[in-house]
Structure 1
C-alpha cells in the first residue's frame, strides 16, 4: 500500500524530536511571529515558524492556516501544517483534521486526503463531507458516490453539504437513479426547501436528459435565486430546446430577478441556436439596461448571436464599441466573418489580432474549408506550422478535409503519421476524418485497412464514410456487402440507408433495395426526408414507379427536393404526362418549384413532344418565378424543338440565347436540320461547327 506524504513527514519529525534540540522559543513569541508574517503576506515563512514550537498551537490558528492553504492551494504548507499538528498533538480535534482534508482536496492531492481520512481514529459527518466534496470537486464522481453509499451504511446522517456534493457527482457520471434516491433522502431529512439543493437537483436531472423532471423540480423551488434560473435556462439549451430557454429567461425578468452575465450569455446562446433575432434584440436591450454591454462573456455571446442570425454588420458594431477587446471577442467576430463566407475580411481581422490561440487558428482554417478554398487553406496550414505549435483534434480534422479537397493523398499520409506520433489515432473525429480523406482521394484499400484498424472505436459515421466512398467510386456491390457487416456491430443510423438506397438505384439492385426497405420497416426506423427521397429514387430507377409514388404520398410533408425526385422518376419511366399533372399538385400544396423542377418539366415535355407547352414553362421560369435558366434548360429546349421538328422556333431560340451555343448544341441542331430538311439553318450550324473545329468540313 502506498505510504502517504503526511506519514513520512510525521516519522521524520519524530526522529528530529528524539535528537537534542535548541532551547525552544516561547509559545507566545512564536504565535506573534506567525501572525506578523501573515499580516505581511509571508505565508510560507509563517508556516515555517511552526517548527520552532515543540508543542501544539491554538486550534483556531491551525484552522486559519488550513483555510489559507485551501485558498492558496499550497500543498507543501498543508503537509507541513498537518505534520506539526499530528506530531505535537496526540489526539487532534476531528474538526481540524477535517479542515486538513478540505485543504488537500482543494489542492487536488486526493491520496493525501484519503490517507488522512482512513487513518483518523474518529470521524464525524464533517469528515465524510470533506472527503466526498474532495472527490466531487476533482472530478472523481464515482468515488464520491461510493463513499456516500458507505457513509449511509455506517449510519452517518448526511447534511446539505453531503447532498450538494453527491448531486454534483451524479451529474458528472449521469447517475439518474441514485439522484432520485438522494432526492428522496433530501425530502426525508427535511432539506426540501433548501434552494441550493433544489437547484442542484434541477441541474442533475437536466444533465441526465430528464428535462421534464428538472422543470418540475424548478417549479417546486419557492424562491428561486438567479443561480436557479441560470441552471434551468442552461439545461434547456443543453437538450436543444432554445425556445423554452428563452421563455424561461423572460419569465425570470418578469419576476424581477436581475440576470447574471452568464444568464444573459446563456439566453443569447439560445437565440443563436434558433436564429431568434427578435428575441436577441430584446435581450441586447436588457444587456444595455443592466450595464453588461462591456462584459467580455456577454459581448462575445452578443457577437455570436448576431452572426448566427445573419446580422454580421451589427455584430461588427458591437465588437467595435468594445473598449477592451479580449481574445474571445476577437475570435468571435473573426469566426463570424469566416463562417459567413467573407474570408478576406476574416483574414484581415485574424492578422490584426494581438494574440491568438488554437481556436482562432481553427476558426480561420474552417472558413477556408467551408468555402472549398483549398489553395488558401493549404497556404494557411503552412503558416500555422511556421507560427504556432498549437493544434488539437479539430485542427487535424480540418487539415484532413483540405487533403481530401485537394485529393492529395500523399499529404494525407503524412498527417496520418503525425496522428500516430502524437496519439490522436484514438480520437473518433480524427479517425473518421482520416477515413473520409482516404475515401475521397480514391485510395479505397487504405480506407478499408484503416477502417478495420479503428476496430472498437468505429461508430455509425465511420460505416457511413466507408459506404459513401464505395458508392462514389462505383463499388456498389461492395457497399451492399458491407451493410451485412454493420448489423453485427451496431444499429445502423438512418443516414446510412440513404447512401445504400442510392447505391441500389445506381446499379439497379431492386432486390437489395427491397431488403433494405424491409429492414427499416421491421426495425422501426422513421424515414426522414433524405431517406424517403432515396427510396423514391431507388424504386424509380428500378422501374417500380408505383412503389415510388406510394412512398412519396405517405410523406407527412414534402419539400421541393422530394417533389423533384418524384418528377425525375416519372421522366425516367417515360411517364411525362403524369409529370405535367403532377406539377399542378405541387403548386396546390404551396411548394415553389426551383431550377431542378423546371429541368424535370422540360424533360417531360420532351417525352410527350409538347413543344408549345415547353416554351410556356421555359418562359415562366424567369417571368413568374424569377429563376434564371441554366445550361441544362437551354439544352432541353433545343432537344425539344429538334424532336418536334419545330425548326423555325429552334432557329429563333438558338440565335436569341444570351451566350454562344456549345459544340454539343450545334451538333444537335445540325442533326435536326438534316433530318427535317432545314437546309439554310443547317448550313449555318455547319459553318459554326467548322469554325469551332477547323479539322471538320461538315455540309448539309
Structure 2
C-alpha cells in the first residue's frame, strides 16, 4: 500500500487525544507565545506544563524544541506524551510534509518508551525515509530484543540501496550475537570492510562481542587486538566473553592487562573479573582486584560490593565476606541471600540458619539457598522439614525448590517422597523446567524405579539434554543393567555428544559385565575424538581392565598419569590383589607411601588386606590392619574385619581368630561366618590332602558342618556372641586334634 501524506493525517486522527481547548485556556497560554516559554518548562522537567503549552499552540515549533521535549518524554517513559508530540509535529506541519528528522526522533522515543508497535507504525506510514529512519527503526528493534525483525529490516534497507551507518552495523551485529548467527555476522563483517568502517572502535567492539558469543574466541581476541585504542566497553566485552566461555584465567588476565595499561575499568568489568576469580578459586588475585576496587573508589558500588562478597564467600573466607556484609550501607535481600548461601555451601549451617531467620525479608532464592545447604551436606530429613516450613510461610516455590527436594528423595532412596514431589509439581504446573525434569529422572533412576525413569525420559521429548541421558545411563549402570545401558548409549550417540562422565559410566558398565570388547571401544572412541582422559577416566579404565583380567593394560594406563588421585591408586591396588598379584599390590602400596602425595583411605587398606590373603602373609596383614588406625586414622570397618577373618581362617591361628572376633565393636555378620565356614573347610581338606591330618576326618567334617550350621542360625536369628565363641573354640580344638 502506498504511503502518502493523507495516510499520515489518518494516523493523526486515530491517535488524536487533544480535546477542544476552551477559549479561557487559550488566553492563559497564547499561541503566539515565545518558544522560550516551553523551553523553560522542559528545562524545569515540567512535562505536563510543556504538553499543555504544545496543545495550546497550533503553529509549528523549532526542531530543537521538539527534540528536547521528546528527550524529556523518553526519560519519563511517557508514552501518551510522545503520541501528543508526534501528533503536533504532523498537524502543525500540514499541508507541508512533516520533518523526517523529527519523525526519526519520535521513532527512537517510542522505542525508549518500550512501545515498538507505535514505532513500527510510524515508520511504515512515513512518506519519505532516510538512512536515519532505517537506523532508528533497526536500533529500536535491536534494543527491544527483536533480533530477527532487526535483521530483516536491515536486509530490506540494504536492498533498497541505502547505505548503512556504523550505528546500524552495530545494532545488526548485536542482533546476530543474540541469535548466534555466525554466518550472517561474517557477511556483515565483509560489508563493514567494504564500506571502510574497519577502524571504528564501536564496530570493532561489536565484532569482538559477536564472535565471542558465537564461541569463536580466537577470532574475538584477534578483532580486539586490532583495536588501536580500546575503550572501557571494549575491555568489558572481551573480559565478559572469556568469562561466559568458562575461561576464567584468561578473563582475569585481560582484566589485569587493562589495569596495567592505565585504563579505569567499569563496575561491570570489575564484577566479571571477580566472578572469574570465584569460579577458579583464585583467591590471591581476587584480593588484588579488591585492592584495585578500593584504589579506584568502587567499594561502595553495589554491583562491585556484591561481587567482592561473593568472591570471598566462594573462596571460603566467610569472615571477610561477613565484614563486607556488616559494613554495607545497601544491604538488600540479594546480599543477605548471598551470605546465607555462603555459610550453607561451606557446611556452617547453624550460622546460615541464624542469618536466614534474621533476614528482614525473604524471597524464594533465600529459601532455596538454605535448602541447598541441607541437600549438599546430606541432611535430607532436615531438608524435608525445612520444605514443610517453606510451604507454610511462602507460596514462592519454584523449579529449583522442587529439584532440590527430588535430590533429597534420591539421597534417601525414598521413591514415595519423590513421587509426592512429582505430584506437587504436576498440580502446580511446575514440571516443564529442564532442571526439574533431570532431577526427577535422576531420582527415579537412583531409587531403582527404572520403568518410571524410562517413561519420564520419553516424555521429556526434545527437551532432553546430555544430563538427561547421563542420568538414565547411571541408573541402568548402578542397578546392574549394563546391557540396557549400552542400548541407551547407542541411542544417545544419535541425538547428542557424550562427555567424560558418560564414558566413565560406560566403562563401569563394561567392567560390571566383564565385556572387554566394549571397554576397549570406549577407550578408542575417546582417543579418536580428542576427549580429555583425566584422572577420573583413568581410574575407570584401570578398573575395567583389571576386572576383565587385562592387568598389563591397566598398568600402562596407570603409569601414563603423572598426577594420581586416591581412586586411581586404589583401582590399581585392588586390580593387582584381585588378579593374584599380591606382591605387586603391596609394592604399589609402599610406593604410594613413599610418594606421600595421597593418604591411604579405607578402600586402600581393603586392597592391601586382600593382597595379604592372596600371599598368605598373616604377619603383613596383621601389621597393616593395626597400622591403618594407629598411623593413618582409618578406623577398621566391617570389610576390614571380614578380610582379617578370612586371612586368619585360611592361613592363621584359630585362637587369634577367636580373639579378633571377640574384640570386634559389633556382632559378627553372616558374611563373616560364611568366610569362617568356607575357610575352615578349605584348610582341613588341604591338610588331609597334604597328609598332615589323621586318617579319621571326623573333625574336619564336624568343623565344616558346625560352621555351616552357625551361619544358618545367624541368618535366622542372629545368635549371641557366646555361641559364636563356642563355635570358634570347637573349631580351634578340631585344628589342634588334626595337628
Fold shared per TM-score above 0.5 = yes
Q: Secondary structure at the match of 1:27?
A: coil
Deviates most, 434-443 or 513-522: 513-522
Distance 1:8 1:644, change over 3 A: farther
Structure 2: how far apart are the matches of 1:78 and 1:14? 12
CA contact (8 A) 2:492 2:498 kept: yes
- Matching residue within 10, 32, 40 for 2:12: 10
Residue 327 in structure 1 maps to residue 333 in structure 2: yes
Structure 1: how far apart are the matches of 2:407 and 2:79? 46
CA contact (8 A) 1:639 1:668 kept: no
Q: CA deviation at 1:139?
A: 0.9
- Matching residue within 128, 131, 139 for 2:137: 131
Deviations 1:16-41 (A, max 9, x none): 99x99979664224967755654664
Q: Secondary structure at the match of 1:281?
A: helix
Q: CA deviation at 1:586?
A: 4.6
CA contact (8 A) 1:611 1:641 kept: yes
Structure 2: how far apart are the matches of 1:15 and 1:196? 40
Q: CA deviation at 1:506?
A: 2.4
Structure 1: how far apart are the matches of 2:238 and 2:495? 37
Structure 1: how far apart are the matches of 2:549 and 2:423? 48
Q: Which residue of 1 aligns with 2:287?
A: 281
Q: Which residue of 1 aligns with 2:547?
A: 541
CA contact (8 A) 2:104 2:132 kept: yes
CA contact (8 A) 2:645 2:672 kept: no
- Matching residue within 130, 147, 151 for 1:145: 151
Residues 105-254 of structure 1 correspond to what in structure 2 (within 5 A)? 105-254=111-260
Deviations 1:80-115 (A, max 9, x none): 222332234231111111011101111222222122
Q: CA deviation at 1:134?
A: 0.6
CA contact (8 A) 1:296 1:326 kept: no
Q: Which residues of structure 1 form unaligned runs of 5+? A: none
Structure 1: how far apart are the matches of 2:285 and 2:76? 43
Deviations 1:108-157 (A, max 9, x none): 22222122112212111211111111111111122222222332232322
Distance 1:492 1:235, change over 3 A: closer
Residue 372 in structure 1 maps to residue 342 in structure 2: no
Q: CA deviation at 1:398?
A: 1.5
Deviates most, 594-603 or 436-445: 436-445
Deviates most, 591-600 or 364-373: 591-600
Residues 621-700 of structure 1 correspond to what in structure 2 (within 5 A)? 621=628, 627=634, 629-646=636-653, 659=665, 662=668, 692=721, 698=727, 700=730
Q: CA deviation at 1:371?
A: 1.0
CA contact (8 A) 2:8 2:90 kept: no
Residue 502 in structure 1 maps to residue 504 in structure 2: no
Q: Secondary structure at the match of 2:361?
A: coil
CA contact (8 A) 2:628 2:635 kept: yes
Deviates most, 442-451 or 550-559: 550-559
Structure 2: how far apart are the matches of 1:690 and 1:447? 41
Q: CA deviation at 1:349?
A: 0.6
CA contact (8 A) 1:6 1:112 kept: no
Deviations 1:655-684 (A, max 9, x none): 777x4675569858986899799xxxx9xx
Structure 2: how far apart are the matches of 1:460 and 1:613? 47
Q: CA deviation at 1:466?
A: 1.7
Residue 604 in structure 1 maps to residue 608 in structure 2: no
Deviations 1:351-386 (A, max 9, x none): 111122222222111111101211221122122222
Structure 2: how far apart are the matches of 1:620 and 1:338? 36
Distance 1:8 1:330, change over 3 A: farther
Distance 1:6 1:377, change over 3 A: farther
- Matching residue within 85, 88, 107 for 2:89: 85
Deviations 1:176-202 (A, max 9, x none): 343344444444444444333333332
Q: Which residue of 1 aligns with 2:715?
A: none
Deviates most, 612-621 or 114-123: 612-621
Distance 1:526 1:303, change over 3 A: closer
TM-score (norm 2): 0.83
CA contact (8 A) 1:27 1:53 kept: yes
CA contact (8 A) 1:440 1:469 kept: yes
Q: Secondary structure at the match of 1:92?
A: coil
- Matching residue within 50, 67, 81 for 1:46: 50
CA contact (8 A) 1:529 1:562 kept: yes
- Matching residue within 439, 459, 462 for 2:465: 459
CA contact (8 A) 1:638 1:665 kept: no
Distance 1:20 1:27, change over 3 A: closer
Deviates most, 219-228 or 275-284: 219-228
Q: Secondary structure at the match of 2:460?
A: helix
Q: Which residue of 1 aligns with 2:261?
A: 255
Deviations 1:49-88 (A, max 9, x none): 5344444333332222222222222222222222332234
CA contact (8 A) 1:30 1:50 kept: no
Q: CA deviation at 1:544?
A: 3.8
CA contact (8 A) 1:6 1:79 kept: no
Structure 2: how far apart are the matches of 1:488 and 1:210? 25
Q: CA deviation at 1:486?
A: 2.6
CA contact (8 A) 1:101 1:131 kept: yes
Structure 2: how far apart are the matches of 1:373 and 1:137? 46
Residues 392-541 of structure 1 correspond to what in structure 2 (within 5 A)? 392-420=398-426, 422-510=428-516, 512-513=518-519, 516=522, 525-541=531-547
CA contact (8 A) 2:574 2:607 kept: yes
Residue 67 in structure 1 maps to residue 74 in structure 2: no
Distance 1:512 1:201, change over 3 A: closer
Structure 1: how far apart are the matches of 2:217 and 2:517? 44
Q: CA deviation at 1:417?
A: 4.1
Over alpha carbons, which structure has the higher Rg? Answer: 2
TM-score (norm 1): 0.87
- Matching residue within 42, 59, 62 for 1:58: 62
- Matching residue within 268, 293, 302 for 2:274: 268
Structure 2: how far apart are the matches of 1:211 and 1:13? 49
Q: Which residue of 1 aligns with 2:365?
A: 359
Q: Which residues of structure 2 form unaligned runs of 5+? A: 685-698, 700-705, 712-717, 731-739
CA contact (8 A) 1:211 1:236 kept: yes
Report the count of equivalent residues.
690
Q: CA deviation at 1:604?
A: 0.4
CA contact (8 A) 1:339 1:370 kept: yes
Q: Which residue of 1 aligns with 2:622?
A: 615
Structure 2: how far apart are the matches of 1:257 and 1:619? 63
Structure 2: how far apart are the matches of 1:362 and 1:333? 13
Q: Secondary structure at the match of 1:341?
A: coil
CA contact (8 A) 1:6 1:82 kept: no
Structure 2: how far apart are the matches of 1:641 and 1:242? 55
CA contact (8 A) 2:476 2:482 kept: yes
CA contact (8 A) 1:339 1:366 kept: yes
Q: CA deviation at 1:590?
A: 6.2
Distance 1:417 1:660, change over 3 A: closer
- Matching residue within 391, 399, 419 for 1:385: 391
RMSD: 3.8
Distance 1:362 1:7, change over 3 A: farther
Deviations 1:262-294 (A, max 9, x none): 232222212112111211222222222223223
